[in-house]
Amino acid sequence: MLNTVETFSSTQLRDIARDAATVAGEYLASVFRRPMEIQHKTSAHDQVTVHDRVTEDLIREVIARRCPGSTVVGEEAGVAVAGASDNDTDQSDITWHIDPIDGTSNFAQGFAFFCTSIAVEIDGEIRAGAVYDPISDMMFSADDSAAYLNDNLLVTPRALPLPSATLITGYPTAADLAAEGQAATQRFQSWVEAFSSVRRTGSGALSILHVAAGWTDASLGTGVSTWDVAAAMLILRRAGGSYYPVHYTNGTEHRADHYASGYLALGPGVEYPIMEAAVHQIEQGRRR
């Protein structure tokens, strides 16, 4: 018999996500900055290592043991049912979205800005999640009631106004440049001029969580998958920040926010018209 949502509270699901992220993080910390072979998936900008696959397997093993029969959607191994036998016919209403290493290029090159991200979806809504930065030993998590940093309640402080604020983003990526050309570089220049500082760091989940913690004020991502952002989105919102999805395909606006191709994350209490205008321009320019 497969487990369903009635079997678990959101707090219990958060605990499972935290445990799985801890196991993954311990492994990643043990191999970080050691020699490793780097391969590429879609391009030279899309790196993968054997550790991505090993880490995802470790996460799936924890989920299979603690929440058998749930669906797991992973960046490396795709969709599978955790711990199900050939005789299981029931369908679980719990789906896990896992990114074993968000920021693989950073990890592979020895730059300590990467994390493991695990989120739990029930009936189209993200209900629990955990994101672990193993090098800084920071565990972000959330459930139905609150967000946490390690074992402490996480509440996002008021963001700074322009021009004192900091923006953290991966934009423009090579894909952004290919899609938008000179408009992308001009847009980035306008942000450099408007914000106190602009940082490009290479992990969507950690970028969003730096907003949640109040270490930066805004974050923009333009090419993300659900496993990149689902947990961080929930944590930011539970902490009091805002997450706005960016859709590139007509008719996808009705889908849950974590399925959008991009996002704008903001700390509370401020508006940044320059970012809102940029999101609108990027979204409309890529609509198809």
Annotated binding-site ranges for Mg(2+): 75, 99, 101-102, 228
Residue 187 CA from chain centroid, whole number: 24
- Residue found under tokens 């847009």: 187
CA distance 274 to 283: 14
Instruction: Give per-residue burial for 176-208: e unless 16+ CB within 10 Å, then b.
Output: beebbeebbeebbeebeebbeebeebbbbbbbb
Q: Could you list the residues known to form a binding site, using ranges.
A: 75, 99, 101-102, 228
Residue 212 near residue 140 (C-beta atoms within 8 A): yes
C-alpha torsion 75→76→78→82, nearest 10: -100
User: Kindly report the CA angle at 139 between 237 and 144, in degrees rounded to 5?
Assistant: 35
Q: Using the 8-state DSSP alphabet, how is residue 5 labeled? A: G
56 has which bridge partners?
A: none
On the CB side of 76, how many CA atoms lie within 13 Å of its CA? 22
Q: Which residue is associated with the tokens 């849950």?
A: 256
Q: Which two tokens stand for residue 32?
A: 């970080």
In the Cβ-directed half-sphere of 288, how many Cα atoms lie within 13 Å?
4
Q: Where are the alpha helices (DSSP H) in 44-181?
A: 50-66, 104-109, 174-180
Whose CA is closest to 211, among 233, 227, 188, 186?
233
